[in-house]
Amino acid sequence: MTHAISSKVITVLGATGSIGVSTLDVVARHPDRFHIFALTANRNTEKLFDQCQQFRPKYAVMVDESAAEKLQGLLRNAGSETEVLSGTGALESVSADAAVDYVMAAIVGAAGLLPTLAAAKAGKRVLLANKEALVMSGRLFMDAVHEQGAELLPIDSEHNAIFQCMPSSTKNGQVVNNLAGVERILLTASGGPFRTWELSQLQNVTPEQAVAHPNWAMGRKISVDSATLMNKGLEVIEACWLFSVSPEAIEVVVHPQSTIHSMVSYNDGSVLAQMGNPDMRTPIAYGLGWPERLVSGVEPLDIFATARLDFERPDLARFPCLQLAYEAHAAGGYATIALNAANEIAVQAFLDQSIGFMDIPQLIEAVMQSAESGTPNQLEDIIIQDEDSRQAASFWLKKKKTH
């Protein structure tokens, strides 16, 4: 006897980015299981229009108002019934709507915080691909998850791998990881495009070189974060909140093949690893289907072609951003907000060729030193620290330009 599967209703935040596109690819493979409620984007009108035509969401949200007007015109001419909304408030609205079951949080950077937090406060299954939400508001965010009975499932390939390597269950409607016997989390990193470069070579890195990731197809900002290892630093902070562990329990392991996505070491000597081809559709499908597994469209791993697995310790002299992230988490929430804000400004300045690659950690460290000590308890304080840190970063850039 077969039971009918109830279709889950999904909002995709950041639908036109790489995670959003991969999410919709998985959703399209399971039309009986998933229905799209809302798709959101910043200003990529053409891609969002195509997605609306295919998935027919109730709402399309564009943060940029002029882009929203353009999209509205395109959809009206195409006879679409999708309603177009604009602005950041609309992002929160389609994340918290009573009709929604799952929210894919895939907006890059601090811009993703408020809608992701809205989804948690509304008790949704939050598929978390936005690490900044926890970096900026870890305690506040996790409190909202627990108080409102939200299901928080990590989508970053590394955190999803850790989740898969730990026994998990639901308790009072929430996802619970069993940490019994866990000694260490081994968080893998590809090492990025400059893994083998000398420190002197890093002074002359170009944006084009930095965004050319050897294994993953990602957006420009996250590709630069991978090149500086800041992405791994943000993931360390995220893992501390997701799995209720201290930074000392997390060891970053450079694994250039990106075949093992992370490992968990247990007190009996066992090390469990999650392996697979580097394709984000695997963790996305796991989050959408949990506790079941769904077909994702990813090619099975050819273990014979893989042939070898290499592991190295990260070089903190060449990649100081990783050390800065550990220091920020130890200092508290104000410092991690400053770290994230300064990094966003620094990466954009590097992509604009205003600063060099090795200026990125210098800017971040300077801004971190200006942050308040401790951890904010109010959303308003988080937003103020974020704004103050961005101003401090902009001031640092102006000062550097005049010297």
> Exposed, middle or buried, 370 (CB in 10 Å: 0-12/13-18/19+)?
middle
SS3 (DSSP) at 88: helix
Of 215, 235, 248, 265, the residue nearest 155 (C-alpha) = 235
Is residue 144 in some structural domain? Answer: yes
Q: What is the pLDDT of residue 3?
A: 46
Residue 92 annotated as lining a ligand binding site:
no
CATH number, domain at 62? 3.40.50.720
- Residues 220 and 325: their CA atoms lie apart, in Å, by 20
Residue 287 annotated as lining a ligand binding site:
no
Residue 157 annotated as lining a ligand binding site:
yes
Is residue 39 in some structural domain? Answer: yes
Residue 387 annotated as lining a ligand binding site:
no
Residue 116 annotated as lining a ligand binding site:
no
Is residue 359 in some structural domain? Answer: no
Q: Give the predicted TM-score (pTM) of the model.
A: 0.93
What confidence tens digit (pLDDT) does each residue in 371-395 have? 999 999 899 999 999 999 999 999 9
Per the structure, the count of domains in the chain is: 1
Q: What is the pLDDT of residue 2?
A: 44
Residue 388 annotated as lining a ligand binding site:
no
Residue 226 annotated as lining a ligand binding site:
yes
Q: Domain of 38?
A: 8-154
Residue 308 annotated as lining a ligand binding site:
no
Residue 3 annotated as lining a ligand binding site:
no
Residue 232 annotated as lining a ligand binding site:
yes
What confidence tens digit (pLDDT) does each residue in 225-281 have? 999 999 999 999 999 999 999 999 999 999 999 999 999 999 999 999 999 999 999
Is residue 19 in some structural domain? Answer: yes
Is residue 42 in some structural domain? Answer: yes
What confidence tens digit (pLDDT) does each residue in 319-373 have? 999 999 999 999 999 999 999 999 999 999 999 999 999 999 999 999 999 999 9
Residue 213 annotated as lining a ligand binding site:
yes
Is residue 54 in some structural domain? Answer: yes
Is residue 255 in some structural domain? Answer: no
- SS in 3 state form for 186-227? EEEECCCCCCCCCHHHHHHCCHHHHCCCCCCCCCHHHHHHHH
Residue 16 annotated as lining a ligand binding site:
yes
Residue 265 annotated as lining a ligand binding site:
no
Is residue 45 in some structural domain? Answer: yes
What confidence tens digit (pLDDT) does each residue in 14-54 have? 999 999 999 999 999 999 999 999 999 999 999 999 999 99
Q: What is the pLDDT of residue 351?
A: 97
Bridge partners (DSSP) listed for residue 154: 128
